[in-house]
Amino acid sequence: MAKSRNWIANLDWITILIYVLMIFLGWINIYAAVYTEDQPGLIDFSLRHGKQLIWIMAAILIAFIILLIETKFYYYFAYVFYSIFIIILFVVIFIARDINGANAWLEIGSFRIQPGEFAKFATALAMARLMSTYNFDISDRKDLLKVMVIMFLPVVLIIMQNDLGSALVYFSLLIVLYRYGFPGWILLLGIFFVGLFVASFKISTLTLTFFVIFLASVLSAINFRRVTEVSIALGVFTLVLILSWVMIKLVDIKIELYYLVALSFVFSSIIYGYWIYSKKLGFVLLMLGFVFMSLIFLFSVEYIFNNIMGEHQQNRILVLLGEKDDPKGIEYNVNQSKIAIGSGGLTGKGFLQGTQTKYKFVPEQSTDFIFCTVGEEWGFLGTTSVILLFIALFWRLLVMAERQKTPFSMLYGYGVTGIIFFHFAINIGMTIDLAPVVGIPLPFFSYGGSSLWSFTILLFIFIKLDSSRQNIL
Amino acid sequence: MNEYANRYYVVISAIVFVAIIFIIRLFSIQALDPSYKATAESNSTRVVIEFPTRGLIFTRDSALMVENKSSFDLMVIPENVTAFDTSYFIEILQLDSIQFIKEFIKAKKRSYIPAMVYKEIPDSIITKFQELQWMFPGFYLQTRALRHYPLSSAAHILGYIGEVDKNMIEKDAYYKQGDYIGITGIEKTYEVLLRGKKGRKLYLVDAKNRIRGSYKDGEMDETAISGKNIVLSIDSRLQTFGEQLMANKRGSIVAIEPSTGEILCLISSPAYDPNLLVGKNIASNYTQLRNDEANLLFNRAVMAQYPPGSTFKLVNALIGLQENVITTHSHFTCAGGYNVGSFHLGCHHNGSIEFYYSIQGSCNAYYCHVFDRILRNKEFQTIGESYTEWRNYVMQFGLGKRLGTDLAQELRGYIPEASHFDKYYGKDKWTPLRLISMSIGQGELGFSPLQMVNMTAAIANRGYYYTPHLIKNIEDLDTIPSKFKQKHTIDIDSAYFEEIIKGMEMVMKAGTAANAYVQGLDICGKTGTAENPHGKDHSIFVAFAPKDNPKIAISVYIENAGFGSTFAAPLASLLIEKYLRDSISVPQWETMLLNTSINYKTK
């Protein structure tokens, strides 16, 4: 009895409050998104806001159950959960019907769940379990491989279900490795190349080239306090670029500007390389190598895409990146989304007053584009509040993670933060055209039972772990 | 692991960094950039144009000349269509199946937008369709107003309406693609009055362009203003009776009320049924009318340029008197014509002809002498000057110039300038003999029947006229354009008009039109017969009645019908009597005219 009172007293009520606030605000906005003047009923279980109410009830029930279960259970059953979900994900590939181009839904009667959503908490648990084992050593290749397998097995299976968005989410678990002590620069490099790959379809190669060069220069300048040298290097490069551009204008040859940039870069880096070699500035050389690799990567992505891939493969990638899609086009979605959010202004049009929302200009508005409703009806004040609410949640989660006594709870806490943050960043990013449209929900806001329940499970397991942080496993 | 505790700060900073980027971005699109607001408005509002009803047209005797009749177009919203029995549908609506299917496929491309699939479903099918409409969801009938002409008459006056063309759309922003506009006749002249003003309603629409409510509670809506009804000066009895009498003849009748310039009837024959230029068959019917060898679309009343014939002697007599080259006591010799040297212009009198008789008997020789005197007037240095003076008088009658009536196709007619003869004969090297045929209304003269009747009205008024016009009243405005209330006075003493009117009275009593005399009507007239190179002479007659306080002036022109007295004069008498007494005392004229059909050889 004393023990039970102990964990209840230790529950992090701030996090629970934030959770309740989020699902409440989420429901209000779902109601606004499905609202039409013809159907003003507040509770109608045939409509989405009515259904969401059921999902919310169920989610609260799930949260209670999770809190009631012994903490040890999650530790010991981590691998079991993981195995079960891997099997389900594997089976789903074969039995799922094609819904919106993905075979990611498991159907039981009229009931539809997305195992990929639930596999997240299982993967986070399994990773935390593995990495908290006594003799786990990240620098040991075998152990590293084990973590990677646990992390990327669901990714492979979900990609096979054609659901790139959900698969990408698992990359957010890299944050767990990072906190554990995995060298940061390798993670950054990975993130950088993924970013570069995505950006190469959105931004011209030329712009990216300049960006890469600038980034490398700034980094080396800061790291080695060699502002003078870097400025000289940039100066040489610019000079060579201008000279070659003038020459090309003079002889009147038609050549793409970015080939010129690449050429200038190679030429100037030879000069610069010789100069720093004589001065033995190792890191600067490394930065040059990084720039060089990035450029090669950029050009090869473009080359492979344009010349090696077939049209079918190209389209596939463009659709996955949100550059091409469906009857009306992804661009239409993003445009309408921006219009809805932008038209909200500073204070919004008011609850149920958003014309873009009411008249369904934004597709998927109650699910992936729920943030548009916030933007249109509640304005900049509303969107900022939601963002601040998320920041409060992340801050709370990280504070909780850091106070854990066991590596298992702590690592799981980081996993939870990573997953929710990734959803937050990509989802809001895509509604305001800062991220590709990959179709992942906004945690606790978007309509849908699978996503609400999976985030509830994810969060409440951590709250439970945190509540018994005093009891050392 | 605890040696990496500082990574907590890296993670929290990364999160805050992303949040800051989002907030900056949101601030820029929500607070700074106003364009999204505008786009959202245009996204969700639709302007629906409300078409006003076009004004009706009545005659002076309150007969309805032009009304609006609703026609039904078959519309479809393809989204709402369920499977239906296509062949039964086509059968009950009596559709052209190929055309229907073609339009239906076209409509399906934008499935939520209403589209017209078939124009003008015949009235007889409407009720049947409405009974069976439940079987065909998605289909409905939409009414559209078409012009209808209950009298089937006066096509040349009324003109027609049609879809506005590109030029007009560019010129006048009021018109949009698909709007209707008056193309000729009264429909064109009074377009702005008749059309009214389009209204508009702003609606909120959803992503599928379906109407969801009114925009800003309708505060920016504009209601349509119906077109104004107008009353024409036309007398429906006169107009239809005249048209009947002119059947199978080519020519024109125009009658005017001299005291106002109001046109009582304006007939151009052959005519066509104005109902032909309505609705979906307008294009094919128009082509047919235009290609008809009788030139059906040609409005002879205002566009034809006929020589005035002997009726023009009245004008020459007046000018002669005013110029003091003759008096009412002047006598001239007619020796079966006018002879100068080897020149001979035929006439049918013998002996000395006096002034009144010259009108009554229409003596050619008399007017050759008059015209000769006018042109040799001592007051002028040269023949050019005296000719120009004469021409100015003629034009004061409204001849040879555009009168400015409310039919836009009106032509100016023809009366040559002095320079025309200078060019042929050298400056002032010409003699009256060269243009002597103009004295009897032949030669290089061409006037429209409207100009002729206006001249007659000016005589009836003893020296002035009002621009002939068709508009009598405009609803609500209770006025007509001021140019039609302006008096045009001729610089000829009204006493001289009295003199020639005496002659015109004699024409009816014992002169060339004695055969068309009607007891008690007090008609004053003048016959004319215009030679023409293409066949039999044109039969011409101008008249007004009664002599004092004239109520009607008329000009009748029948192509290739021979002497003016034969057809034109009895016709004028019939119409005058019809107008003044609303009866006919000599029905045999009517029978004769109705039975006369003149055979016009195709060239």
**Which pLDDT score, from 0 to 100, does residue A326 have?**
44
Chain A residues lying within 8 Å of B4, measured CB to CB: 179-181
Cα–Cα distance between B557 and B541 in angstroms, integer? Answer: 7
* Cβ–Cβ under 8 Å, residues B7 and A184: yes
Provide the sign of the torsion angle of the four alpha carbons A328, A331, A334, A338, taken in this order.
negative
Whether A305 shows a pLDDT value over 70: the answer reads no
Confidence of residue B448 (pLDDT cuts 50, 70, 90): very high
Chain B residues lying within 8 Å of A179, measured CB to CB: 1, 4, 7-8, 11
Strand-strand pairing, B64-76 and B139-148: antiparallel
Task: Supply the DSSP string of A194-245, one letter for each residue.
Answer: HHHHHHHHHS-HHHHHHHHHHHHHHHHHHHHT-HHHHHHHHHHHHHHHHHHH
Q: Which amino acid is at A338?
A: K
Chain A residues lying within 8 Å of B27, measured CB to CB: 380
**Which pLDDT score, from 0 to 100, does residue A318 have?**
63
Give percent of chain B above pLDDT 70.
99
Tell if the CB–CB gap between A428 and B11 is shorter than 8 Å: no
**Which pLDDT score, from 0 to 100, does residue A18 have?**
96
Calculate ∠ Cα B342-B343-B349, nearest 5°.
Answer: 115
Region of poorest pLDDT, from A34-48, A60-74, B43-57: A34-48
Which DSSP letter does residue B414 get? B
**Which pLDDT score, from 0 to 100, does residue A2 have?**
47
Whether A313 shows a pLDDT value over 80: the answer reads no
When CB atoms are compared, the residue of A175, A355, A421 closest to B40 is: A355
Pick A435 or A385 by higher pLDDT.
Answer: A385
Give the mean pLDDT of A179-198.
73
Chain B residues lying within 8 Å of A33, measured CB to CB: none
Q: Which amino acid is at A90?
A: F
Q: Count other Cβ atoms within 10 Å, centred on residue A189.
A: 13
**Which pLDDT score, from 0 to 100, does residue A168 have?**
82
In chain B, how many H helices and how many E strands?
Answer: 21, 20
**Which pLDDT score, from 0 to 100, does residue A1 have?**
41
Task: Please name the residue that has the structure tokens 């920016």.
Answer: B220
**Which pLDDT score, from 0 to 100, does residue B141 have?**
84
Give the mean pLDDT of A183-210.
69
Which DSSP letter does residue A10 get? T
3-state SS, one letter per residue, for A406-422: CHHHHHHHHHHHHHHHH
Pick B498 or A335 by higher pLDDT.
Answer: B498
In chain A, how many H helices and how many E strands?
Answer: 20, 2
**Which pLDDT score, from 0 to 100, does residue B157 have?**
94
**Which pLDDT score, from 0 to 100, does residue B95 have?**
81
Q: Which amino acid is at B313?
A: K
DSSP strands (E only) in B467-595: 471-474, 487-489, 524-530, 538-545, 552-558
Whether B108 shows a pLDDT value over 50: the answer reads yes
Q: Where are the domains positioned within chain A?
A: 2-182+329-467, 202-320
Torsion angles phi and psi, residue B253, rounded to 5: -125, 130
Q: With left for phi above 0 and alpha for psi between -120 and 50, is residue B543 left, alpha or beta?
A: beta
Helix or strand (DSSP H, E) at B318? helix B313-322
**Which pLDDT score, from 0 to 100, does residue A472 have?**
55
Residues 186-225 of B with CB under 8 A from A: 204-208, 212-213
Structure tokens that stand for A162 in this block: 């054609």
**Which pLDDT score, from 0 to 100, does residue B38 have?**
83
**A428 shares contact with chain B (CB less than 8 Å):** yes
Tell if the CB–CB gap between B212 and A359 is shorter than 8 Å: yes
Cα–Cα distance between B2 and A162 in angstroms, integer? Answer: 39
Give the mean pLDDT of A85-95.
89
Whether B566 shows a pLDDT value over 80: the answer reads yes
Provide the sign of the torsion angle of the four alpha carbons B12, B17, B23, B29, taken in this order.
negative
Chain A residues lying within 8 Å of B22, measured CB to CB: 387, 428-429, 432, 434
When CB atoms are compared, the residue of B10, B16, B33 closest to A342 is: B33
Provide the sign of the torsion angle of the four alpha carbons B434, B436, B442, B445, taken in this order.
positive
Give percent of chain A above pLDDT 70.
73
Which DSSP letter does residue A364 get? T
Residues of B398-411 as b/e, b for ≥16 C-beta within 10 angstroms? bbbeebebbbebbb
Give the mean pLDDT of B572-587.
93
**Which pLDDT score, from 0 to 100, does residue A124 have?**
95
**Which pLDDT score, from 0 to 100, does residue A206 have?**
67
Calculate ∠ Cα B177-B181-B186, nearest 5°.
Answer: 175
Confidence of residue B455 (pLDDT cuts 50, 70, 90): very high
Confidence of residue B332 (pLDDT cuts 50, 70, 90): very high
The tens digit of pLDDT for each residue in B166-187 reads: 898 888 888 887 788 999 999 9
Using DSSP's 3-state secondary structure scheme, residue B461 falls into: coil
When CB atoms are compared, the residue of A175, A180, A342 closest to B30 is: A342
Q: Is the N-terminal amide bond of A327 cis, ω within 30° of 0?
A: no
Biggest CA–CA distance in chain B, Å, is 146
**Which pLDDT score, from 0 to 100, does residue B106 have?**
82
* Cβ–Cβ under 8 Å, residues B215 and B183: no
Pick A436 or B71 by higher pLDDT.
Answer: B71
Task: Please name the residue that has the structure tokens 């949640």.
Answer: A393
Angstroms from A188 CA to nearest CA on chain B: 12
Cα–Cα distance between B15 and B18 in angstroms, integer? Answer: 5
In this structure, chain A runs to a length of 473
Structure tokens that stand for B46 in this block: 């639709």
Give the mean pLDDT of B519-544.
89
Calculate ∠ Cα A306-A309-A312, nearest 5°.
Answer: 110
Task: Please name the residue that has the structure tokens 């199946």.
Answer: B97
Q: Which of B245, B237, B235 is nearest to B556 (CA)?
A: B245
Nearest CA in chain B to A392: B16
Distance of CA A68 to the CA centre of its chain: 31
Whether B334 shows a pLDDT value over 80: the answer reads yes
Pick A365 or A425 by higher pLDDT.
Answer: A425
End-to-end CA distance of chain A: 19
* Cβ–Cβ under 8 Å, residues B410 and B503: no
Q: Which amino acid is at A215?
A: L
The tens digit of pLDDT for each residue in A416-425 reads: 999 999 999 9
* Cβ–Cβ under 8 Å, residues B567 and B598: no
Confidence of residue A328 (pLDDT cuts 50, 70, 90): very low
Taking all residues of chain B, what is their mean pLDDT, rounded to a whole number? Answer: 89
Cα–Cα distance between B175 and B177 in angstroms, integer? Answer: 7
Pick A216 or A15 by higher pLDDT.
Answer: A15
Cα–Cα distance between B248 and B243 in angstroms, integer? Answer: 10
* Cβ–Cβ under 8 Å, residues B264 and B297: no
Task: Please name the residue that has the structure tokens 């029995």.
Answer: B85
B49 bridge partner residues: B200
Strand-strand pairing, B57-58 and B230-232: parallel
B115 bridge partner residues: B76
Q: Is the N-terminal amide bond of B78 cis, ω within 30° of 0?
A: no
Whether A158 shows a pLDDT value over 70: the answer reads yes
ipTM of the complex in this document = 0.80
Pick A26 or B42 by higher pLDDT.
Answer: A26
Tell if the CB–CB gap between B18 and A425 is shorter than 8 Å: yes
> DSSP 3-state helix, strand, coil percentages of chain A (rounded to 5)?
75, 0, 25
Pick A302 or A129 by higher pLDDT.
Answer: A129
Helix or strand (DSSP H, E) at A143? helix A141-160
Q: Which of B538, B308, B348, B568 is nearest to B441 (CA)?
A: B308
* Cβ–Cβ under 8 Å, residues B328 and B499: yes
Region of poorest pLDDT, from A221-235, B98-112, B245-259, B460-474: A221-235
**B20 shares contact with chain A (CB less than 8 Å):** no
Taking all residues of chain A, what is their mean pLDDT, rounded to a whole number? Answer: 81
Whether A230 shows a pLDDT value over 90: the answer reads no
Give the mean pLDDT of B126-131.
84
Whether A327 shows a pLDDT value over 60: the answer reads no
Chain A residues lying within 8 Å of B17, measured CB to CB: none
Q: Which amino acid is at B385?
A: E
Cα–Cα distance between B162 and B478 in angstroms, integer? Answer: 28
When CB atoms are compared, the residue of B7, B40, B207 closest to A179 is: B7
**A381 shares contact with chain B (CB less than 8 Å):** no
**Which pLDDT score, from 0 to 100, does residue A243 have?**
75
Whether A277 shows a pLDDT value over 70: the answer reads no
Using DSSP's 3-state secondary structure scheme, residue B465 falls into: strand
Residues of B526-548 as b/e, b for ≥16 C-beta within 10 angstroms? bbbbbeeeeeebbbbbbbbbbbe
Which DSSP letter does residue B312 get? G
| Neighbouring residues of A357: CB distance < 8 A, sequence distance ≥ 6 | A32, A33, A35, A340, A365, A372, A373, A376, A377
* Cβ–Cβ under 8 Å, residues B403 and B450: yes
Whether A203 shows a pLDDT value over 60: the answer reads yes
Angstroms from A116 CA to nearest CA on chain B: 24
Give the mean pLDDT of A95-110.
73
**Which pLDDT score, from 0 to 100, does residue B122 have?**
82
Calculate ∠ Cα A100-A103-A104, nearest 5°.
Answer: 95
Provide the sign of the torsion angle of the four alpha carbons A287, A288, A290, A294, taken in this order.
positive
Confidence of residue A307 (pLDDT cuts 50, 70, 90): low
Whether B56 shows a pLDDT value over 70: the answer reads yes
Q: Which of A172, A359, A371, A442 to mutate to test the interface with B (most CBs of B within 10 A)?
A: A359
Give the mean pLDDT of B93-118.
80
State which of A145-149, A215-219, A352-356, B313-317 shows the largest mean pLDDT. Answer: B313-317
Using DSSP's 3-state secondary structure scheme, residue B83 falls into: coil
Confidence of residue A332 (pLDDT cuts 50, 70, 90): confident
